Amino acid sequence: MRTLLKFWLALLCLLPLVGDAADAFPTQQTFAGQALNLNGKGIRTKAFFNLYTAGLYVQEKSTDAAAILAANQPTAMRLEITSGMITSEKMEAAVREGFETVTIKSI
């Protein structure tokens, strides 16, 4: 029992040393010649594993999601896969399925 407790304590001490992919997102980035600002970012986790980090870049920061969606301005999304469990093929299939589901409902 004590060995297990020591193991978990040692593991918990190492957790702050693990880098966060979300920290690597620049606050401003140029996409297709447009300077855009990082509006927000999030990490997708599943069963204690970080799968990917996504960041939304817009011209003007806003906390109003409806305004961002309605704005006729350039936007971009940056996606960094952080897990070996996700391949580019799996991610592409999931994104295509998501877009098909959303666009079929809106037609």
Which tens digits make up the pLDDT trace of 7-47? Answer: 666 655 555 444 555 567 899 999 889 999 999 999 988 88
- pTM of the entire predicted model: 0.68
- CA pair distance 59, 62, nearest whole angstrom: 9
No. of H helices and E strands in the chain?
Answer: 3, 4
Those residues whose C-beta lies under 8 Å from the C-beta of residue 59, and which sit 6 or more positions away, are 34, 36, 37, 71, 73, 74, 75
Q: Where are the domains of the chain?
A: 2-106
pLDDT at 3 over 90: no
- Reduced to 3 states (helix: H, G, I; strand: E, B; else coil), residue 76 is strand
- CA pair distance 53, 37, nearest whole angstrom: 16
pLDDT cut 90: percent of the chain above it: 36
Alpha helix stretches (DSSP H) within 1-107: 2-14, 65-70, 88-106
Across all residues in the chain, what is the average pLDDT? 82
Summarize pLDDT for 40-89 with one digit per residue, the tens.
Answer: 999 988 888 888 899 999 999 999 999 998 989 999 999 888 888 888 89
